[in-house]
Amino acid sequence: MSIYSTVKPLILGSGSPRRKDLLHSAGLTFEIKPATCEEPAPLPGQGPEDYAIKMAELKAENVAAANPGSYVLGSDTIVVRDRDILGKPADREEAYRMVKSLCGRKHKVISGCALISPEGEKTSYAVSTEVEFIDFNEASVRAYAATGEPDDKAGAYAIQGQGAFLVKGISGSYTNVVGLPLARVIETLVQWGVVVPGEG
């Protein structure tokens, strides 16, 4: 028996295998249609939470425009060191520099989420998790960067993968750091009647 059943058409507007796996873990069924829009840089003075929300809305709106009969979930996850947003590294050297800059200190992982109904109703929010890294030496960080795991990850690490060795502790949602604040997303989907507990 599944934990939840999807009773209305749902689309995940993301190609992230991590988001797909998280939703599947709760028993949800959905289509996957990644957004095709450009991802603009933050505006001057724009806060990281607001930026993450706007990106999630942009992606959800992009997919919803081509799929008017479905509920569309968009999400965007960013890593923030102080006020600096760390995106995906351009190469292994940048991955090393990103991870090294996080060692021995705390940073935030922020996911913006947006859900759009077939009628055009929208709800959006941001969930923030604080992550603290151990202060690893250069050799360890270079070895991690060389694995290739950081290549397509915001902040250049994966807490659910080999990058777990970096993490001293977290405060907040673990799944948010993976890529989707599952508890909050499920809560929203239940409130909107998209999913129901059990097999329905």
Mean pLDDT throughout 104-109? Answer: 98
Q: Is the pLDDT of residue 2 over 90?
A: no
Average confidence score pLDDT of the chain: 95
When pLDDT is averaged across residues 136-155 and rounded to a whole number, the result is: 95
pLDDT on residue 198:
83
Mean pLDDT calculated for residue range 43-56:
94
Catalytic machinery residues: 76
The predicted structure's pLDDT at residue 200: 47
Q: Are 44 and 25 in contact (CB under 8 A)?
A: no
Question: E-strand spans in the chain?
Answer: 4-6, 10-12, 31-32, 71-81, 84-86, 106-116, 122-133, 167-171, 195-197
Q: Dihedral sign, CA of 160, 166, 168, 173?
A: negative
| Per-residue pLDDT, 199 | 63
Domains of the chain: 4-197 (3.90.950.10)
Q: What is the pTM of this model?
A: 0.94
Q: How confident is the model at residue 21 (pLDDT cuts 50, 70, 90)?
A: very high
Q: Do the Cβ atoms of 175 and 183 come closer than 8 Å?
A: yes
Per-residue pLDDT band for 59 (boundaries 50, 70, 90) equals very high
Q: What is the pLDDT of residue 48?
A: 95
What would the mean pLDDT of 46-56 be, rounded to a whole number? 96
More confident residue, 126 or 136: 126
Average the pLDDT over each of 23-27, 41-45, 184-188 and give the range with the smallest value.
41-45
- Angle at the Cα of 153 (from 150 to 98), degrees rounded to 5? 65
Reported as a pLDDT band with limits 50, 70 and 90, residue 13 is very high
